[in-house]
Structure 1
Amino acid sequence: MVNKVTVIGSGNWGSVVARIVGVNCAEKASQFERQVNMWVFEENIKVDDTEYKLTEYINTHHENVKYLPGFKLPDNVGFEVTEKELVIISDVVRDTLGITCGALMGANLANEIALGQFAEATIATTVEWQGRAFQQLFNRPSFRCAYVSDVTAVEVCGALKNVVAVGAGFVDALGMGNNTKCAIIRLGLMEMMAFAEEFYGCTNRNVFFESCGIADLITTCYGGRHTRLGKLFVETGKSFEELEKEHLNGQKLQGHQTAEKVYKMLFAKGETAVKKYPLFVAIYKVSTKEIAAQDLFQCLADHPEHM
């Protein structure tokens, strides 16, 4: 069976994905159709004083000059969170479209992958043959994917690591070194695993030691936009919304919003639940300016992991 591939989204990661799958689809004609369509959020951009529609520029120049400038796309490419809880996006797609949906996550800073630097990722789907097909679609010599079946755990990792990364940014703003940041990462991982099990029934902790878990957490805390803007949040006193507009060129932040949803879920469950996740709670309270960034250290000192 020959599969058709479409990329929905044209941010920096969507563009990197298009580069990877575009090459594989061209090379593996027995498995995938050569043409890869890319759905783009239409925007007007200006290049060298000339105004273009983003889709027009991508289709004529084969470059997403706004979100992934300097990297050519293959010529065969053309172009949720609720009020109360964290939503698993694959569930939303499955329930809305009536199809099986998996996830791909990992230690994947888009620009590094675009440069061809080696990286790993985790593919999750409950249907094994789909997982193997996705490995064929995404695997390149410098980009290797492992397959797991626990889609929920992989997605929960992707959401919660952004909360921890915001906390890592707070630590950077306070001038702390690698010892402190590593403490944030370790304690954050422990709370991620506990939260995933308590609220989503994710009991297989091995998933958290795949690229989607500890590796993604580390790279986000050291090189991701959530850490960078968490640092600026403390240093400048500006809101995350202001910083997003000033520094992200159309990209979005999820960490502070996820922290709010996590806190509401814990609060709804009661005081005992709140006390079990002091790092998540402290990051939320710093992000809402309920407490000062310096108060994060009291959370680290009194964490249940140290009792």
Structure 2
Amino acid sequence: MKTTVDVKTTTIGVVGAGSWGTALANLLAVKGFAVDHWVYEAEVKAQMLEKRENQRFLPGVTLSDNLHPSGDLESVVAGKDMVLVVTPSHVTRRTIERCGHAIGPDTVVVSASKGIENQTHLTMSGVLAEVIPGLSADRLAVLTGPSFAKEVARQMATVVTVASNDTNSAAFVQQVFVTPYFRVYTIDDLIGAELGAAVKNVIAIAAGVIDGLGLGLNTRAALITRGLVEIRRLGLAMGAQPRTFTGLAGVGDLILTCTGDLSRNHTIGKQIGEGKKLKDLLAEMHMVAEGVKTARSVYNLSRERDVEMPISHAVYHVLYDDLDPKTALYQLMTRDLKQELDET
């Protein structure tokens, strides 16, 4: 595994060309790396090659000449020092199954996808570990934190964290990504970082519903605070470190996604709060709101682990059982009274 970073010799492949994948790939290309970038949609690849712009997912951003879009998945990941996976969580397994055998034994694999698989309840690092032959835990990392793709692409100051169980891998990825406008910290809690990144999308849908109902800032602040409690509860049940949820991967990402107008999860929640139906909203979207699918995973996983997550359960019932949002709020507000803080 390579431990030193040189923009001229470090080889990078990026899988996924949505808004986040394109923003990160272009960040690396602007920094000077030659980046091979797998693009699923042929028309998007053509745009990126001919117009140097991803007009569908990241319009208005000129792409570096160091970014090389490709439809050949195996060639993008083969022989690379680092492979960055930025696919929607529900297609990560079948995408990487196609190319996992081509990823070398010394490649550091980084996930920037945020979700929990519906069928297995695995986070994305767990999925990658299953489908990439011989992938060891010390070559896995996760990039997460409060970061909207459009703002990163416009080089607005952003701070994120890289989580890995291996300090060398974390430091390597940190050095690959860091720029004067993209500051990168490291932590050693992979599962905590991934759960924070995934479950905050569910809470963001709830925050959007609150805003769609016009219930004010008091309600939203309470929702975010109690949502963080739920994320922490699930994290502790899954072996995460409590302090992770006080950092960028926890409260930082949660605040951004629950309050920012660029959040797709908040937006879809707000529209539901305004009276629109989920099936109609999904039909209109060409980008993924990860919290919709993750809500199902969190609901089933929390029941499996016997973790109390009333807000997350309310989101699930609103999305999948057509529970009226006002009824869901009433049920949350009239639950049995108790002490605020958990014992652990």
- Give the TM-score normalised by the residue count of structure 1: 0.85
Q: Distance in 2 between matches of 1:107 and 1:253?
A: 16
- Secondary structure in 2 matching 1:236: coil
Q: Distance in 1 between matches of 2:182 and 2:59?
A: 20
Q: Deviations over 1:169-227 (max 9, x none)?
A: 110111011111010000000110011111x111x111112211111101101121111
- Contact 2:202 2:294 survives alignment (8 Å): yes
Q: Distance in 2 between matches of 1:109 and 1:83?
A: 25
Counting only pairs closer than 5 Å after superposition, residues 164-203 of structure 1 correspond to structure 2 as 164-198=203-237, 200-202=238-240
Q: Distance in 2 between matches of 1:16 and 1:301?
A: 43
- Contact 1:279 1:300 survives alignment (8 Å): no
Q: Distance in 1 between matches of 2:180 and 2:120?
A: 38
Report whether the alignment pairs 1:106 with 2:142.
no
Name the aligned partner's letter for residue 326 of structure 2. Q
1:279 alignment counterpart: 311
Deviation at 1:236, TM superposition (A): 3.3
1:50 alignment counterpart: none
- Contact 1:105 1:212 survives alignment (8 Å): yes
2:41 alignment counterpart: 42
Cα 1:215–1:103 change in 2 (3 A) is same
Cα 1:142–1:148 change in 2 (3 A) is same
Name the aligned partner's letter for residue 258 of structure 1. T
User: Which of the residues 151, 159, 180 maps onto 1:141?
Assistant: 180
Name the aligned partner's letter for residue 227 of structure 2. G
User: Which of the residues 113, 119, 124 maps onto 1:89?
Assistant: 124
2:17 alignment counterpart: 10
Gaps (5+ residues) in structure 2?
Answer: 3-8, 70-89, 91-115
Cα 1:57–1:84 change in 2 (3 A) is closer
2:95 alignment counterpart: none
2:76 alignment counterpart: none
- Contact 2:15 2:39 survives alignment (8 Å): yes
Deviation at 1:82, TM superposition (A): 4.4
Q: Deviations over 1:228-277 (max 9, x none)?
A: 111112323322x421331x3x21122132222222233345xxx36x22
Q: Distance in 2 between matches of 1:187 and 1:230?
A: 17
Q: Distance in 2 between matches of 1:300 and 1:121?
A: 34
- Secondary structure in 1 matching 2:161: strand
Deviation at 1:23, TM superposition (A): 2.2
Report whether the alignment pairs 1:65 with 2:101.
no
- Give the TM-score normalised by the residue count of structure 2: 0.76
Matched pairs, number: 281
Name the aligned partner's letter for residue 245 of structure 1. A
Deviation at 1:111, TM superposition (A): 0.9
Gaps (5+ residues) in structure 1?
Answer: 27-33, 44-52
Deviation at 1:105, TM superposition (A): 0.7
2:258 alignment counterpart: 221
User: Which of the residues 326, 329, 332 maps onto 1:299?
Assistant: 332
1:267 alignment counterpart: 303
- The structure richer in helix per residue is 1
User: Which of the residues 246, 256, 264 maps onto 1:209?
Assistant: 246
Name the aligned partner's letter for residue 230 of structure 1. G
- Contact 2:53 2:62 survives alignment (8 Å): yes
- Secondary structure in 1 matching 2:140: coil
User: Which of the residues 283, 288, 301 maps onto 2:320?
Assistant: 288
Q: Distance in 2 between matches of 1:84 and 1:74?
A: 38
- Contact 1:103 1:151 survives alignment (8 Å): yes
Name the aligned partner's letter for residue 323 of structure 2. I
2:5 alignment counterpart: none
Q: Distance in 2 between matches of 1:182 and 1:56?
A: 44
- Secondary structure in 1 matching 2:160: strand
